[in-house]
């Protein structure tokens, strides 16, 4: 599975949201698995969209054929767009499905990892972070993805920002030490995204 993460700064909120609804045509595309997104809780004008495709070939075919027509509806409504592709590595918790209807919040973490620490970082994600998140009340599901250049995406879905906040406050410091994250990671950027139900495809 291929995970696409798009982040942009919106300059025309109403126009952007109107254009976002035009992506409702995606389910007819071969290999499309699901899409959802919403607004950053930390930076009010930043929007995040997460899209899932069965394979890179299906995604490339969509980009060559239908993407520009659908994207035209949002032209001029945003700036500073960044889009990144990640290959699915494993679930955070179990049975990941690209569904957004049973969660209110997505926590996204984007890590650049030292080349000689990639194996250790991935192992710690599997053995330390995943069980901690999976055992947290309110954590619904998540996915761990990898991109060329030692870049990783950890996306976790939560019932509410309050549930995610409890996990963060109670456990993060201890887990960071146990996983030796500071030794593995060169750069870490993250956000908490309030999901917009009307963006779910």
Nearest partner of 51 among 182, 41, 66, judged by Cα: 66
Tokens of 162: 């309050």
CA quadruple 72, 77, 83, 88: dihedral sign: negative
Please give the domain boundaries of the chain with CATH numbers for all domains: 2-196 (3.30.70.100)
Query: Could you report the average pLDDT of every consecutive run of 10 residues in the chain (201 residues)?
Result: 98 96 93 98 95 98 95 95 97 91 96 97 95 92 97 96 86 90 95 96 95
The whole-model pTM stands at 0.95
| Three-state DSSP state, 94 | coil
């Amino acid at each position: 599975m291929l995970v696409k993460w798009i982040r942009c700064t919106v300059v025309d909120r109403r126009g952007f949201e109107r254009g976002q609804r035009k992506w409702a045509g995606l389910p007819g595309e071969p290999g499309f698995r699901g899409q959802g997104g919403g607004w950053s809780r930390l930076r009010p004008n930043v929007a995040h969209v997460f899209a899932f495709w069965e394979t890179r070939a299906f995604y490339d075919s969509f980009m060559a054929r239908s993407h520009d027509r659908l994207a035209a509806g949002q032209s001029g409504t945003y700036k500073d767009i960044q889009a990144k592709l990640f290959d699915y590595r494993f679930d955070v918790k179990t049975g990941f499905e690209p569904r957004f209807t049973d969660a209110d919040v997505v926590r996204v973490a984007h890590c650049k990892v030292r080349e000689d620490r990639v194996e250790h970082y991935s192992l710690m994600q599997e053995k330390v972070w995943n069980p901690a998140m999976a055992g947290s009340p309110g954590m619904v599901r998540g996915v761990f993805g990898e991109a060329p250049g030692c870049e990783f995406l950890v996306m976790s879905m939560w019932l509410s920002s309050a549930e995610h906040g409890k996990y963060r406050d109670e456990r993060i410091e201890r887990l960071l030490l146990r996983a030796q994250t500071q030794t593995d990671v060169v750069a870490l950027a993250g956000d908490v995204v309030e999901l917009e139900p009307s963006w779910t495809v």
